Amino acid sequence: MVARSDVHYFGAGPAPLPTNVLEEAAKVLLNYKDKGIGICEISHRSADANEILANTKTSLAKLLDIPDDYEILFLQSGGSGEFSAVVYNLVSIWVEKRRVKAAEQELGSSGSVKSWGDAVFKRLQKEVAEELKLDYLVTGSWSLKASQEAARLVGAEHVNVAVDSRKANDGKFGVIPPESEWTPSKKAAFAYFCDNETVDGVEFPAFPKSLEGEDAPLVVADMSSNFISRKVDVSKYAVIFGGAQKNIGNTGITIVILRKSLLPPASAAADPELLRALGLPVGPIVLDWPTIAKNNSLYNTLPIFDVWIAGQVMSGLESTYGVKKISGQEEVSNDKAAMIYGVLDKYPEVYRVVPHKSARSRMNICFRVGGGDAEKEKAFLTGAEKVGLLGLKGHRSVGGIRASKDNAVSLDGAKKLVAYLEGYAKAV
């Protein structure tokens, strides 16, 4: 039998988890807190479940220095579910703000009154048709899918692709064009980007400057694959979300961090009847952020075991890095990336890194072997597996090789991959 210590897994789907967390998980699955029942058997509304939720929230807030005016939600449906939730929730808020303003100006009505007579409705129809725009920065496969979901829900005429990086790279993803080349809307309901594209190996090096300032739109970021891997100024974002299955935990929960100003009473959603009358979608209740927040993420049955795993991972990072918080993990992530990119760049006749240097991901290192020769890449993967380096095959949509070095991939694992890359390059 192969021992866990003998292999290093670089897969980008469900990522590796810290061994000590899994060992403890094996215990609590059978007997949680010496209660005689396992953690998957306790009620999601029990005191124990609420304690797990509270502890996990506290750990995440400490790691990322999340301000007090932000809420942390735990949901299901994955990052892909949030592609839809972002549209449902933020478009509804945009419509309600416009309705309040129209009611005050057209009817002299109080903003608290849910009035939308003929004059207000016609005005809203015109504003939706002419002014509702959702900005998407399309820099890889996941942001493309998010923009396509938005177009499916509200219509392509309301989705503004402010940048499509394929147009600057011969039809392929792999760069992030200069912000001077972006074409944002004047008053977008929100601006959306994927901070790290797992399929294409592209990561934003920093928060886009054009999305800062008083006139900036609400900024939404998908951080599914680089969550808790580097320091983030949360205050610059309206919404951050991510599926847990990369750095945070196992598949099953999605985390959303959002400004409390987007929740009642500060913000209200539009009347569902009004949205339907305007031809806009009404989202399912399980993706409704106000409902989830009101119920402390327990509107439906939350997989508490998955929250517990995430909490254990986060508290482990707290213990490991202390006052450095997530900056300590960022240093390790940067070191691993520098080592691997260093050896790939050292042998350009053997390896070709796919994305441009200015947009290389620290988390998902995508490259080709032998110019993308299928047989050479197959041999490369076979050799890697023989020495315990697993999960290096690129995404099925693009092929090639991909080394995903999420947080639980150790420095020793990165060094072993570097040694293999060196040996392979010298042998061919």
DSSP annotation string for 372-399? G-HHHHHHHHHHHHHTTEE--BPPTTT-
Q: At what angle do helices 47-64 and 304-321 cross, to 10 degrees?
A: 40
Homologous superfamily of the 8-14+325-427 domain (CATH): Aspartate Aminotransferase, domain 1 (3.90.1150.10)
**C-alpha–C-alpha distance, residues 428 and 409, integer Å:** 27
> Which residues have CB under 8 Å from 192's CB, separation 6+?
86, 134, 135, 136, 137, 143, 146, 147, 150, 219, 220, 221, 222
Half-sphere exposure of 376 (CA within 13 A, CB side): 14
Helices (H), 189-303: 272-277, 289-294
* pTM to 2 decimal places: 0.96
Written as tens digits, the pLDDT of the chain (428 aa) is 889 989 999 998 888 999 999 999 999 999 999 999 999 999 999 999 999 999 999 999 999 999 999 999 999 999 999 999 999 999 999 999 999 999 888 877 665 556 678 899 999 999 999 999 999 999 999 999 999 999 999 999 999 999 999 999 999 999 999 999 999 999 999 999 999 999 999 999 999 999 999 889 999 999 999 999 999 999 999 999 999 999 999 999 999 999 999 999 999 999 999 999 999 999 999 999 999 999 999 999 999 999 999 999 999 999 999 999 999 999 999 999 999 999 999 999 999 999 999 999 999 999 999 999 999 999 999 999 999 999 999 999 999 999 999 999 999 999 999 999 999 999 98
**C-alpha–C-alpha distance, residues 175 and 357, integer Å:** 8
Q: CB neighbours (10 Å) of residue 151?
A: 17
Rg of the Cα trace of the chain? 23
The three-point CA angle 19-79-411 to 5° equals: 30
Q: Output the CA–CA distances (angstroms, integers) from residue 102 to 97, 106, 109, 110, 132, in the order listed.
A: 9, 6, 9, 10, 15
Contact 226, 58 (CB under 8 A): no
**What are the two backbone dihedrals, phi and then psi, of residue 202, each rounded to the nearest 5 degrees?**
-115, 135
3-state secondary structure (DSSP) of residue 57: helix
Looking at residue 233, what is its pLDDT?
98
Looking at residue 112, what is its pLDDT?
54
Looking at residue 172, what is its pLDDT?
96
Q: Which fold has domain 59-305?
A: Aspartate Aminotransferase; domain 2 (3.40.640)
**C-alpha–C-alpha distance, residues 247 and 234, integer Å:** 18
Q: Where are the domains of the chain?
A: 8-14+325-427, 59-305
**C-alpha–C-alpha distance, residues 76 and 414, integer Å:** 32
- Total residues found in the chain within this entry: 428
Six-digit token pair at 78?
């994955």
Contact 360, 205 (CB under 8 A): no
